[in-house]
Copies of this chain bind each other. A is one copy, B any other.
Amino acid sequence: EGQIFCLFVQLRLYNIASSFLSFGRFTRQPRLPHCADMYRLQSLATLTLDTLNPQVKAVEYAVRGPIVIKAGEIERYLEEGGTKPFSEVIKANIGDAHAMGQQPITFLRQVVALCTFPELMDSPSFPEDAKWRARRILQGCGGHSLGSYSASPGVECIRKDIAAYIEQRDEGVPSDWENIYLTTGASDGIMTILRLLVSGKDSSRTGVMIPIPQYPLYSAAISEMDAVQVNYYLDEDNCWALDINELYRAYQAAKLHCQPRVICIINPGNPTGQVQSKKCIEEVLHFAYEENLFVMSDEVYQDNVYTPDCQFHSFKKVLYEMGPEYFNSVELASFHSTSKGYTGECGFRGGYMEVINMDPEVKAQMVKLLSVRLCPPLAGQAAMDVIVNPPQPDEHSYKQFRQEKSSVLGALADKAKLTEQILNAVPGIKCNPVQGAMYAFPRIFIPPKAVEEAKALGMQPDMFYCLRLLEETGICVVPGSGFGQKDGTYHFRMTILPSIEKLKVLLGKVRDFHIRFLKEYSALE
């Protein structure tokens, strides 16, 4: 208990302490009064917690929140020779595949390296299929250089490649390259579309429907833009499925105090890992059509589907199959990224969105908004191009590419299964199948005594649990409260990205910890 209280105090004191430690050198010093300066003695800095933009203050983002800061501190402590009951911190908090040892796809890196340093075009160690892709990308760049700004929506030939990829993925459903916008990761696209949609005051303020649990980019963006968060709860008892009745309930309840104008869906789910059925998507789209909602479909995990009975259906394809009535009217933005899938290229900050049925005048406004930020990073655009335009069976690099891709996806499928199995064998933990994406989101039983203790510390019970897990095992996961969950239920999100060996160790430690934790707090009752 003392230890946890210490942790809590540490967290609370983090800011205050940092003013004396890390930031000491530049911290405002007490000043000697002199004549012209007397009145300033009362004043603090211009920008303080009191004067800070209140919308910034309201933002929360658990994936890199206090528990992750704490993990970093422990890591540094270990590096400096400190001792803990473990030798390393395992960061299962964030979907960062390369940080967990996943190797890049060779072909993707070859193309981006060729674009970066075109002298390599003469090198015999680079394959021709990579070279022609790099040449083609560079021909689309100003001065044939990755160092030029692109048009704000992205390089034209890359937009065309993306449209072709979507048409193929969706078995012929038309995709217009002028509806494609490259983005700085998917987050950037999601923020852009939300920014357009937020308007109105008081009860006409834009309501944004989001799943609970959700990826906290959504809640953070909603806070930052001062929109109204409208929660619809996923059905944990039904593999986190989206229940259409719950959508109607949430919508009707929200209409009393805001104007719901957009519905966000994450498919496959983050943090929940479910893959939506076609029927469910149809229901959502029909609902959006009926209620005149803009649909934002976060499909960054479209290549991450693991269970044989599940299949990724794009919202756009389902919309098309519902007929022109729907396909020509529902406003839909879907998002993709270089960061997930089998490439895991988070650091490139690449991504795109496809936006259909957007009012042309609004589109012009959006392009204007994008143009202020100039353009997404060109290396990320190039990486995106490789993802949508990979080696074909008749090309030299195909074999290696296919082997690397299936090796990554195969390992993820194994780890998804393994994670579910081991967690479900632990008393007091229940984990839905990880059908897709990169996370398990198990429900954990926290004994009432532990809940009480956490509350006495002013902490969410699952935060208390995750902090103890971190302190005792070195495993860093994110409390369910950072994603949202039904009142009285507790979860954590962990990635399935560590290598299979490390994942087994990690899951074993979680099991042992959980059993200890249950025992400790049940003994108290």
Contacts and interface: CB of A to CB of B under 8 A. Distances in A.
Interface in A170-207: 174, 176, 178-179, 184-185, 187-188, 195-199
A51 B261 contact: yes
A462 interface: no
Contact of A56 (B22, B46, B47, B365): B365
Contacts of A356: 26
Contact-residue bracket for chain A: 35 or more
Nearest to A22: B178
B98 A147 contact: yes
Given A52-B196, A261-B51, A347-B146, A365 B328 contact: no
Contacts of A96: 142, 148-149
A367 B476 CA distance: 19
Interface string A265-298: 0000000000000000000000000101110000
Interface in A52-91: 52-54, 56-57, 59-61, 63-65
A179 to B, nearest CB: 6
Interface string A355-373: 0111111111110110111
Contact of A100 (B112, B143, B357): B143
A42 to B, nearest CB: 11
B195 A365 contact: no
Interface string A31-51: 100001100100111111101
A61 B368 contact: yes
Interface string A325-346: 1001101000000000001111
A403 interface: no
A149 B49 contact: no
A37 B330 CA distance: 13
A221 interface: yes
Contact of A293 (B46, B112, B344): B46
Interface stretch (A374-382, A392-400, A406-414, A504-512): A374-382
B48 A362 contact: yes
Given A23-B363, A329-B28, A377-B184, A142 B53 contact: no
25 contacts: A14-B364, A18-B363, A18-B364, A25-B174, A26-B357, A27-B357, A29-B328, A31-B325, A31-B329, A40-B329, A59-B368, A59-B372, A64-B374, A94-B149, A96-B149, A99-B143, A110-B117, A113-B120, A146-B348, A148-B347, A150-B347, A184-B377, A216-B372, A224-B372, A347-B378
